[in-house]
Amino acid sequence: MRLVIVGGVAAGTKAASRARRLNPEMEITVYQEEPEPSISECGLPYLLSGVVGTREELVARTPERFAKQDIEVLVRHRVEKLDAAGKRLSVRDLAAGEAFEDSYDRLVVAIGARAVLPPIPGADLDGVFKLRFLTDSDEVRRYTEEHSPKRAVVVGGGYIGLEVAENLCRIGMEVSLIEGADRVALAYGLEVSERVEAELAKHNVKAYTGEKVEEFVGEGRIRGVRFGGTELETDLVIVGVGIKPCVDLAEEAGAEIGPTGAIRVDEHMRTSLPDVWAAGDCVETTHLVSGGPVWVPLGDTANQMGRVAGTNAVTGHDGVEFPGVLGTGIFKVFDLGVGKTGLSEREAEDAGFEVVSAEIEVYDRAAYYPGAGKVFLKLIANGSTGRLLGAESAGTGADKLTDICATAIWGKLSYPDLINIDLAYSPPYGPALSPVIQAATILSGAFERARQGVRASE
């Protein structure tokens, strides 16, 4: 019995390890196009600044480590074709330049997503980079060592762009950020975007919002970025405008692609092809609040999906499930933590919910305890049932508040639960009542007023 996994990193290597743990006999091979099978992609921005000192720290496991588990990992190998009926693969050894055929009994597709480079003139200039894999950060490092850039432009105000901006600042660069939308951190509400923009300004990152890059200017090497009638001089550009799922291999083999553009899988991570599972950044899943399909490419989710795909692929039956996601995420920009879970107010309205929301800004611990910092929290609730639909937080301890709210949404809690919920209090760790409890109490007032409004108008 032979299990083949296409793609490593989080989902693929997790599927492989899980399969090996459950079945010591099965042949397991992982094909990976990049030179490292298992890395922390989320750590890449921190490698730019030296917050993470060496690239080796981001390599979770080497092929040799996998070999000890009796998992064959072939890096620099691209799977070019999948014949699902014949259970065969066409593989190219990129180092040797040779192609060969392989076969499988069961297959897990975990080929991830790739960075989008928009069709901007000059995107191929030296000094214009994306940041998706270790090889990209190697290239940036080589370039910075050779040219010692003083000014940098980051294109894209999502979390990758913001993390990159922070880390380029840390090594003394003068950083500008260009975002096409009218604000950064567009996945969040306006209140959060304003806080992120203030944090950028505080650290002298100039943010240009509502601006589309028209051209990267330079001869051979980048010299400037042209947008909105001006040209901004720069020595380095990093583009972080998004990623898209790698679906070609599966789609050409006949696998169903979902409405988000990623591979469709059921809750057992099965694709529409027989004996083919998929996991990670290349698949879509269910948003547990909206109920609709969603594509949320994140390392932790990929890891969890990989576990389910590996378990079911090795046993061949639908033993475990991956129910879906809440769209939970967090990032740090300078001293500001920014997290969200569930639906934003606009997403909730778009999904057809009647929405009631409440927001607060309070200290993250007892105000008299050293280190106390402000944190913003917004709760979004279903106006008919009171159920929590989403939360956004920005500030000190935003990670904790986001995780409490994510768990609350997972547990289908409503605002009366959150008023009385028994969270841990001690002055070094929180205010007497958690910001979650305080915000839920305000939410309760909004519900009372809404009820009174209904009564008054009846």
Is residue 450 at the binding interface for a second copy, with CB under 8 A as the rule? Answer: no
Q: Which of 35, 254, 258, 427 binds a second copy (CB under 8 A)?
A: 427
Task: Provide CB contacts within 8 A for 48, sequence distance 6+.
Answer: 131, 137, 140, 141, 164, 167, 168, 171
Question: In the bound complex, what is the minimum distance in angstroms from residue 41's beta carbon to a second copy?
Answer: 10
Q: Which of 6, 10, 169, 356 binds a second copy (CB under 8 A)?
A: 10
Is residue 225 at the binding interface for a second copy, with CB under 8 A as the rule? Answer: no
Residue 246 annotated to the active site: no
Angle between helices 435-457 and 398-410 (to 10 degrees): 50
Handedness of CA 438, 444, 450, 456 (dihedral sign): negative
Is residue 46 at the binding interface for a second copy, with CB under 8 A as the rule? Answer: yes
CA distance 409 to 386: 12
Is residue 423 at the binding interface for a second copy, with CB under 8 A as the rule? Answer: yes
Alpha-helical regions (H) of 121-221: 134-147, 159-170, 190-202
Handedness of CA 268, 270, 274, 280 (dihedral sign): negative
Residue span binding a second copy (CB under 8 A) among the ranges 94-102, 250-258, 271-279, 317-325? 317-325
Reference 55, options 172, 119, 137, 115; nearest CA is 137
Is residue 24 at the binding interface for a second copy, with CB under 8 A as the rule? Answer: no
Question: In the bound complex, what is the minimum distance in angstroms from residue 114's beta carbon to a second copy?
Answer: 20
Is residue 417 at the binding interface for a second copy, with CB under 8 A as the rule? Answer: yes
What is the pattern of x (binds a second copy, CB under 8 A) and - over residues 240-279? ----------------------------------------
What is the pattern of x (binds a second copy, CB under 8 A) and - over residues 58-87? x-----------------------------
DSSP 264: P
Q: Which of 27, 102, 105, 403 binds a second copy (CB under 8 A)?
A: 403
Q: Which of 104, 133, 322, 363 binds a second copy (CB under 8 A)?
A: 322
Total chain residues near a second copy (CB under 8 A): 70
Residue 171: how many CB atoms within 10 A of its CB?
Answer: 14
Considering only residues 323 through 362, tell me which ones interact with a second copy, judged by CB under 8 A. Answer: 323, 325-332, 337, 339, 341
294 Cα distance to chain centroid: 13
Question: In the bound complex, what is the minimum distance in angstroms from residue 45's beta carbon to a second copy?
Answer: 9
Residue span binding a second copy (CB under 8 A) among the ranges 148-156, 191-199, 272-280, 363-371? 363-371
Is residue 246 within 8 A of residue 110, CB to CB? The reply is no
Is residue 13 at the binding interface for a second copy, with CB under 8 A as the rule? Answer: no
Question: In the bound complex, what is the minimum distance in angstroms from residue 22's beta carbon to a second copy?
Answer: 10
Is residue 12 at the binding interface for a second copy, with CB under 8 A as the rule? Answer: no
In the structure encoding, which two tokens stand for residue 345, read together?
């107010």
CA distance 198 to 377: 17
CA distance 267 to 286: 8
Q: Which of 74, 75, 125, 419 binds a second copy (CB under 8 A)?
A: 419
| Residue for token pair 């399969």 | 19
Q: Which of 402, 415, 435, 443 binds a second copy (CB under 8 A)?
A: 402
Q: Which of 148, 204, 385, 407 binds a second copy (CB under 8 A)?
A: 407
Residue span binding a second copy (CB under 8 A) among the ranges 91-99, 179-187, 246-254, 407-415? 407-415
Helix (H) or strand (E) holding 12: helix 11-22
DSSP-assigned letters across all residues of 229-253: TEEEE-SEEEE-S-EEE--HHHHHT
Question: In the bound complex, what is the minimum distance in angstroms from residue 296's beta carbon to a second copy?
Answer: 9
The residue from 42, 246, 282, 405 that is catalytic is 42
Q: Which residues of 70-105 are buried (b: 16+ CB within 10 A; e: fewer)?
A: ebebbbebbbeebebeebebebbeeeeeeeeebebe
Q: Which of 88, 244, 425, 446 binds a second copy (CB under 8 A)?
A: 425
Question: In the bound complex, what is the minimum distance in angstroms from residue 408's beta carbon to a second copy?
Answer: 5
Task: Provide CB contacts within 8 A for 422, sequence distance 6+.
Answer: none
Is residue 420 at the binding interface for a second copy, with CB under 8 A as the rule? Answer: yes
Length of the chain: 458
Distances (CA, A) of 326 to 22, 63, 113, 390: 29, 33, 20, 9
Interacting residues toward a second copy by CB under 8 A: 10, 40, 42-43, 46, 51-52, 57-58, 159, 288, 298-301, 303-304, 307-308, 320-323, 325-332, 337, 339, 341, 366-370, 399-400, 402-404, 406-408, 410-413, 416-417, 419-430, 432-434, 437, 441
What residues are annotated to the active site? 42
